[in-house]
Every structure is written in C-alpha cells, then in structure tokens.
Amino acid sequence: MSIDESRPFVPVRIAVLTVSDTRTLDDDKSGQTLVDRIAAAGHVLAARAIVTDDVEAITGQLRAWIADPEVDVVVSTGGTGVTGRDVTPEAFEQVYEKKIEGFGEMFRMLSYKLIGTSTIQSRATGGVAGGTYLFALPGSPGACRDGWDGILKDQLDYRFKPCNFVELMPRLQEHVKGRK
C-alpha cells in the first residue's frame, strides 16, 4: 500500500454534511475537522450543510448532492449512534444503490484500537448512489479524524495503490448507460 508518485493527484469535490439538532457552522467542530482535512489533502470543498436528526432532512440533502454534478463525494458526521434521534444510517440506506460494507467494518476496526469495545455503538456506513460516494461518520472530531486519516484520505487519492475509489468513479454509473 503506497502512493504512486508517477500518477497525477486528482482533486475530488467533497460535500460535508453535519447531522445535529444543536450545531451551527460556528460550533461544528466535527464538520470543521473534515473541512480542514479535505483542504489539507488538496481536495475541493464542494458544499457544506447542517441538517437536523431527521430522516427526511438527511435524505433530502443527500439527494440534492447526489443530483449535483459538482459533488463527487458526501461525508457526513453525526447521527450514527444507537439513541432514538440517531437516524443517519437509516437515511443513507434509503438512498444507496450499493452499500460499501467494508467501510463501516474498517471504521470499527480502526476505532477499536483507539476506544475499545465502545466502537460497537457506531453505525458508520458507506455506499454509492447516482455515481456519488456517501460516507457517514460518527459525530465527534476524533471519529472524523479516524475515518478520514485511516480510510478516506487514501481511498480518495487517485495515486493510492493497489486500488482506490477515485479510479472507479468513471464506472459507477455503468448500470445506467444506455437507459432512456
């Protein structure tokens, strides 16, 4: 696993979604953690929004970004726990065309090394819809750092070998080619 310096870096357009009933842009530390890491990696912040812990609000924002050709990836933070208000995974499931099972598994594996068995409370998830990657991380700055640094930073870098999500982007819509 390494970066192939002979390949060009390809900036990806990423939207950041914070799911919270209480956060604003001024105090959204988790969303800001993602924004900072996206910029440091050389990617483009395509959009940023905060929505409440509500399935319709989340799916509405996801669908808008999935339909937007200027958004390649959505990374959310918040609402992945097990309390009554945590509905982010349910919302994401409603829009997925394909689930990326390994994303949540990998997140929990990395998280286990840092917080032990408490990681079982996370329902981090990933998938694809309309040619857009969708990833839901827990709502703490630490979880956002772990998800970005441990998974997304490499998988969203075209130079990462042996394979990465970016090189698959042109093929995400193969199933709809030729449809009228």
Question: Model's pTM, two decimal places?
Answer: 0.95
pLDDT, mean of each 10-residue run, the chain (180 residues): 94 98 95 98 98 98 98 97 96 98 97 95 97 97 97 98 96 74
Return the biggest CA–CA distance within the chain: 50
Domain boundaries, the chain: 10-166
Superfamily of domain 10-166 in CATH is MoaB/Mog-like domain (3.40.980.10)
User: Which class for 115: exposed (0-12), middle (13-18), buried (19 or more C-beta within 10 A)?
Assistant: middle
Q: For residues 61 and 117, what is the distance between their CA atoms, to the nearest angstrom?
A: 32
